[in-house]
């Protein structure tokens, strides 16, 4: 434990650093909170001077158009989520990168990361700044295993960073400070031996009333970088390691030390402090990055000082002008006299009761007396007149809001001159481009989060274990990480080995992409039906329908053999499976050849009959059934082979187990059986084809009217090297007597 003097020095440092951070960013935060109040709290959109001059007896209405504009931007960000991808860099393994990517997706899903960044986006667009953090927690109270999670910072204005940081994401910050408000009861339960003392602050805008709340206490979480000198060594095996972590046995097993050098590194430290005491820590953070992520709306450097702001900052005047002009219109209408009836005393004589209630009752007619001095009925005078300049100002201020924010009617869903979907989308995209910096900065924040997780996860998940990983479509899978092969000593899915970087893409969610893809595939099938024969399984899998995956698997089994072979060409198959596929391809080629011979014989027949057409059609049906059955059997064999390879990999990167050998022998037996069935079906088809050809040739012979004997063809089937081979031979034959009698 550090001594009391060390604690005092640390507290003094915390106070000084907080003062520097607070003063450096005070102006930005004051204006940002005013912006958020302007758009979120009713009654905040009128200037104090105007409010004072109008007094309490004149209306001051608010028509918060900015709130709708902000929601348009935020909801567009929700519809186009940033998605990360982990890529292997130096010494990185592609498979391990895939596992690490799926693990980060699982962390994001368990942390409800979308909700975290949605909350930050509200502050980012309205005030110009949002934030969240990465943290760890124990899985349960009776284990030492920890999980990584992403959590929201409820009030981002409680987070401060080193004002000397130049990087947009504050990667180069030397320290951070996060304040937290807890109840005095929770404080006393957590720190029973420490006196309740607020962490003093001169802030007048960051939860000012909370600092003086008698029921709560404010504490601070301080993070800083601390330099560390260490020595790294290059081992004979080519690996680079920290000399402090090596043992003599490990050095000898790795081929000894080739080179070594001293380096200056940093470790991340943190502590929790109250007004005059260190409550927790200092402790070392597992990662090499600070766990905080900040996202800004927009930034500008003015005279060397950073100014950040959101959408509201420069649209406030336009919104005030709109409120003022609309209020004037309402006030003018309300204060103007109602339309009156003008009549002479003679006209109104005896009918005043009816005319005095005409504005409240719907009389079918109004009676009056004729007055020779004023011919005609009583006249209705015009009501309230709104000055044209006031109405023009309403339109101008409304357009000013659109011009300042860059969001026009089409982006808000209102109809315009565009009629086609392409034109409407193009107009909406114009508004998105004007405010794309918010989406882009949020995506940079998500990328920074993935960078922190790529560094932190291998340090938390540092033992062999089975972890859940998620695919881009949300599909679940499990993988073993940090596995050591006891035979070869090689590591499998070692998360700490190699380097990995991160890329981020922004676009619709996977579900939305899936719907759009399904519509596109459907249109492609309508214009190009043969596509179903080569990609029918993928098209069905993209459909958001019940049992789509099961139907896709069945369609996949019916794909042509050449497509099946293309699918499995990158998979290492056993010699038995490869031979089976080759023999099946040969049988299909023979069947196709005999089918063509039947077609050729039918084409040579000069006078076709319904019986011949029926025979040919039946044979074509049988050939299609044969092809489908062969495809099904090959698909089953391929699937069994893939399952066997996966089972062998899951059994460990060691040697094959007894069960794996038994399964492979069973597969070899099934392959032999399938090949025999395919060859039998091929032989039956070729026999039937030969019979049809003979029948067609017999009918052809009865139509010969010349003395020259016709040439007849016959099919011979013989077995060559275990395979059935069909051959067509031409042979002279005498003309039947019936044909000769016709001459």
Instruction: State pLDDT tens for residues 456-483.
Output: 988 888 778 888 888 877 778 888 787 7
- 49-55: long-range contacts, CB 8 A cutoff, minimum separation 24: 50/320, 50/324
Tell me the H-state helices in 501-544: 510-527, 531-541
User: What does the alpha-carbon distance between residue 551 and residue 562 come to, in Å, rounded to a whole number?
Assistant: 21
Number of domains comprising the chain:
4
Domain membership of residue 409 (yes or no) is no
User: What does the alpha-carbon distance between residue 687 and residue 681 come to, in Å, rounded to a whole number?
Assistant: 10
Domain membership of residue 331 (yes or no) is no
Residue 481 Cα distances to 239, 241, 357, angstroms: 20, 20, 87
- Enclosing H/E stretch for 684: helix 658-701
Q: Which of 484, 519, 543 is the last residue of a domain?
A: 484
Domain membership of residue 658 (yes or no) is yes
Beta bridge mates, 307: 300
User: What does the alpha-carbon distance between residue 581 and residue 463 come to, in Å, rounded to a whole number?
Assistant: 43
pLDDT in tens, 357-388: 776 777 788 888 888 888 888 887 766 666 77
The arithmetic mean of pLDDT across residues 647-658, rounded, is: 51
Residue 45 Cα distances to 52, 154, 308, angstroms: 13, 25, 21
User: What does the alpha-carbon distance between residue 53 and residue 46 come to, in Å, rounded to a whole number?
Assistant: 11
DSSP 382: P
- A 10 A CB-CB count for 113 gives 22
Domain membership of residue 687 (yes or no) is yes
Kindly report the backbone phi and psi dihedral angles of residue 103, in degrees, each rounded to the nearest multiple of 5, phi listed first. Answer: -70, -40
Q: Are residues 709 and 588 in the same domain?
A: yes
Could you tell me if 64 and 45 are in contact, meaning their C-beta atoms sit under 8 angstroms apart?
A: yes
Angle, CA 420 vertex, CA 415 and CA 426 arms, to 5°: 75
Q: Give 454 or 729, the one with higher predicted confidence.
A: 454
pLDDT in tens, 266-309: 889 999 987 677 888 799 998 899 999 999 999 998 888 889 99
- Across the chain, mean pLDDT equals 77
User: What does the alpha-carbon distance between residue 620 and residue 170 come to, in Å, rounded to a whole number?
Assistant: 71
Q: Give 4 or 160, the one with higher predicted confidence.
A: 160
Q: Are residues 728 and 645 in the same domain?
A: yes
Beta bridge mates, 302: 305
The pLDDT value recorded for residue 646 is 57
For residue 509, pLDDT beyond 60: no
Peptide bond into 282 cis (omega under 30): yes
User: What does the alpha-carbon distance between residue 360 and residue 358 come to, in Å, rounded to a whole number?
Assistant: 5
Q: Which of 557, 573, 596 is the last residue of a domain?
A: 557
Q: Over 147-184, what HEC string results?
A: EEEEEECCCHHHEEECCCCCCCCCCCCCEEEEEEEEEH
> At a CB cut-off of 8 Å and minimum separation 6, what does 598 contact?
616, 619, 689, 692, 693, 696
pLDDT in tens, 145-156: 788 999 999 999
Percent of the chain with pLDDT over 90: 15
Ranking 103-107, 183-187, 438-442 by mean pLDDT, the lowest is 183-187
User: What does the alpha-carbon distance between residue 125 and residue 437 come to, in Å, rounded to a whole number?
Assistant: 10
For residue 256, pLDDT beyond 60: yes
* CB contact burial 463-480 (16+ within 10 A = b; e otherwise): eeeebebbeeeeeeeebb
Q: Is 276 helix (H, G, I), strand (E, B) or coil?
A: coil
* C-alpha neighbours within 13 Å on the C-beta side of residue 634: 29
Beta bridge mates, 306: 301
Domain membership of residue 396 (yes or no) is no
pLDDT in tens, 514-556: 666 777 777 777 777 877 777 877 777 777 667 777 787 777 7
Ranking 378-382, 404-408, 486-490, 584-588 by mean pLDDT, the lowest is 486-490
Domain membership of residue 448 (yes or no) is yes
Q: Are residues 342 and 240 in the same domain?
A: no
pLDDT in tens, 587-623: 777 777 777 777 777 777 656 667 777 777 787 888 7
User: How far does CA 178 lie from the centroid of its chain?
Assistant: 30
Domain membership of residue 95 (yes or no) is yes
Domain membership of residue 364 (yes or no) is yes
Could you list the residue range(s) of the whole structural domain that residue 654 is in? 564-741
The arithmetic mean of pLDDT across residues 496-509, rounded, is: 77
Q: Are residues 545 and 616 in the same domain?
A: no
Could you tell me if 272 and 281 are in contact, meaning their C-beta atoms sit under 8 angstroms apart?
A: yes
User: What does the alpha-carbon distance between residue 242 and residue 237 come to, in Å, rounded to a whole number?
Assistant: 14
Q: Are residues 112 and 130 in the same domain?
A: yes
The pLDDT value recorded for residue 707 is 45
The pLDDT value recorded for residue 50 is 87
* CB contact burial 229-253 (16+ within 10 A = b; e otherwise): eeeebebeeeeebeeeeeeeeebee
User: What does the alpha-carbon distance between residue 193 and residue 512 come to, in Å, rounded to a whole number?
Assistant: 55
Q: Are residues 450 and 576 in the same domain?
A: no
DSSP string computed for 76-110: HHHHS-EEEEEEE-TT--HHHHHHHHHHHHHHHHH
Could you tell me if 80 and 508 are in contact, meaning their C-beta atoms sit under 8 angstroms apart?
A: yes
pLDDT band at 204 (very low <50, low <70, confident <90, very high): very low
Q: Are residues 124 and 270 in the same domain?
A: yes
Could you tell me if 106 and 467 are in contact, meaning their C-beta atoms sit under 8 angstroms apart?
A: yes
Q: Are residues 546 and 576 in the same domain?
A: no
Q: Over 174-203, what HEC string results?
A: CEEEEEEEEEHHHHHHHCCCCCCCCCCCCC
Q: Are residues 477 and 359 in the same domain?
A: no
User: What does the alpha-carbon distance between residue 426 and residue 433 come to, in Å, rounded to a whole number?
Assistant: 10
- Enclosing H/E stretch for 622: helix 610-650
Kindly report the backbone phi and psi dihedral angles of residue 295, in degrees, each rounded to the nearest multiple of 5, phi listed first. Answer: -130, 135
Q: Which of 557, 581, 596 is the last residue of a domain?
A: 557
Task: Please report how the helices 4-40 and 65-79 are oriented relative to each other, as an axis angle in degrees rounded to 10.
Answer: 120
- A 10 A CB-CB count for 559 gives 23
Q: Are residues 370 and 275 in the same domain?
A: no
pLDDT in tens, 552-589: 777 776 777 666 666 655 555 566 666 776 777 777 77
Rg of the chain (C-alpha set):
41
The pLDDT value recorded for residue 285 is 92
DSSP 736: P
User: How far does CA 273 lie from the centroid of its chain?
Assistant: 39
Q: Are residues 144 and 26 in the same domain?
A: yes
Could you tell me if 654 and 486 are in contact, meaning their C-beta atoms sit under 8 angstroms apart?
A: yes
The pLDDT value recorded for residue 743 is 34
User: What does the alpha-carbon distance between residue 735 and residue 700 come to, in Å, rounded to a whole number?
Assistant: 11
Ranking 24-33, 113-122, 538-547, 695-704 by mean pLDDT, the lowest is 695-704
Q: Are residues 584 and 723 in the same domain?
A: yes
């Amino acid at each position: 434990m550090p001594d009391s003097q060390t604690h005092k020095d640390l507290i003094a440092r915390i106070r000084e650093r907080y003062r520097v951070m607070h003063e450096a960013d005070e102006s930005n935060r004051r204006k940002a909170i005013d912006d958020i109040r302007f758009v979120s709290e009713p009654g905040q959109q009128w200037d104090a001077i105007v409010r004072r001059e109008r007094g309490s007896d004149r209306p001051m209405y608010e028509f918060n158009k900015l709130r709708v504009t902000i929601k348009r931007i935020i909801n567009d960000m929700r519809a186009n989520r940033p998605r990360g991808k982990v890529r292997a860099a130096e010494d990185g393994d592609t498979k391990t990168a895939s596992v690490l990517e799926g693990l980060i997706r699982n962390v994001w899903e368990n942390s409800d990361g979308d909700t975290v960044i949605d909350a930050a986006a509200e502050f980012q667009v309205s005030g110009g700044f949002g934030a969240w953090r990465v943290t760890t927690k124990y899985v349960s109270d009776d284990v030492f295993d920890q999980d990584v999670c992403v959590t929201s910072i409820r009030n981002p204005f409680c987070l401060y960073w080193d004002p000397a940081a130049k990087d947009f994401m504050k990667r180069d910050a030397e320290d951070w400070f996060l304040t937290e408000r807890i109840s005095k009861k929770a404080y006393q339960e957590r720190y029973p031996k420490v006196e309740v003392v607020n962490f003093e602050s001169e802030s007048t805008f960051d939860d000012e009333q909370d600092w003086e709340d008698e029921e709560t206490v404010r504490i601070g979480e301080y993070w800083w970088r601390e330099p560390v000198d260490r020595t790294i060594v290059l081992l004979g095996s080519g690996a680079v390691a920290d000399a402090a972590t090596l043992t003599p046995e490990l050095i000898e097993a790795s081929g000894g030390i080739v080179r070594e050098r001293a380096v200056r590194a940093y470790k991340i430290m943190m502590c929790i402090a109250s007004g005059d005491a260190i409550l927790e820590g200092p402790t070392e953070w597992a990662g090499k990055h600070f766990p905080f992520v900040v996202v800004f709306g927009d930034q500008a450097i003015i005279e060397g000082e950073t100014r950040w702001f959101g959408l509201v900052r420069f649209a406030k005047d336009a919104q005030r002008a709109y409120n003022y002009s609309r209020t004037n219109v309402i006030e003018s209408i309300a204060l103007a006299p109602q339309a009156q009836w003008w009549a002479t005393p003679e006209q109104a004589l005896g009918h005043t009761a009816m005319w005095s209630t005409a504005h409240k009752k719907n009389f079918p007619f109004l009676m009056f007396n004729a007055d020779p001095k004023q011919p005609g009925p009583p006249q209705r005078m015009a009501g309230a007149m709104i000055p044209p300049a006031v109405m023009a100002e309403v339109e101008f201020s409304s357009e000013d809001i659109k011009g300042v924010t860059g969001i026009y009617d089409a982006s808000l869903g209102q109809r315009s001159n565009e009629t086609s979907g392409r034109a409407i989308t193009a107009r909406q995209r114009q508004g998105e481009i004007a405010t794309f910096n918010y989406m882009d900065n949020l995506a940079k924040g998500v990328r920074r989060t993935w960078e922190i997780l790529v560094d932190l996860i291998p340090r938390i998940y540092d033992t062999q274990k089975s972890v859940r990983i998620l695919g881009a479509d949300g599909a679940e899978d499990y993988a073993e990480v940090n596995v050591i092969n006891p035979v070869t000593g090689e590591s499998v899915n070692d998360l700490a080995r190699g380097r990995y970087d991160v890329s981020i893409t922004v676009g619709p969610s996977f579900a939305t992409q899936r719907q759009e893809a399904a519509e596109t595939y459907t249109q492609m099938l309508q214009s190009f039906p043969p596509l179903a024969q080569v990609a029918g399984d993928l098209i069905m899998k993209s459909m958001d329908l019940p049992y789509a995956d099961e139907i896709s698997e069945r369609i996949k089994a019916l794909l042509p053999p050449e497509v099946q072979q293309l699918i499995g060409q990158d998979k290492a198959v056993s010699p038995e499976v490869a031979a089976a596929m080759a023999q099946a391809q040969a049988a299909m080629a023979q069947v196709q050849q005999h089918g063509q011979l039947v077609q050729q014989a039918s084409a040579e027949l000069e006078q076709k009959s319904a019986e011949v057409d029926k025979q040919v059609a039946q044979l074509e049906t049988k050939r299609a059934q044969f092809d489908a059955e062969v495809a099904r059997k090959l698909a089953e064999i391929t699937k069994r082979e893939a399952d066997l390879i996966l089972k062998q990999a899951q059994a460990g990167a060691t040697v094959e187990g007894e069960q794996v050998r038994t399964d492979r022998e069973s597969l070899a037996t099934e392959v032999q059986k399938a090949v025999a069935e395919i060859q039998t079906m091929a032989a039956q088809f070729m026999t039937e084809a030969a019979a049809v050809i003979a029948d067609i040739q017999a009918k052809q012979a009865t139509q010969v009217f010349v003395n020259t004997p016709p040439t007849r063809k016959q099919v011979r089937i013989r077995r060559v090297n275990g395979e059935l081979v069909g051959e067509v031979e031409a042979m002279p034959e005498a003309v039947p007597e019936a044909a000769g009698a016709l001459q």
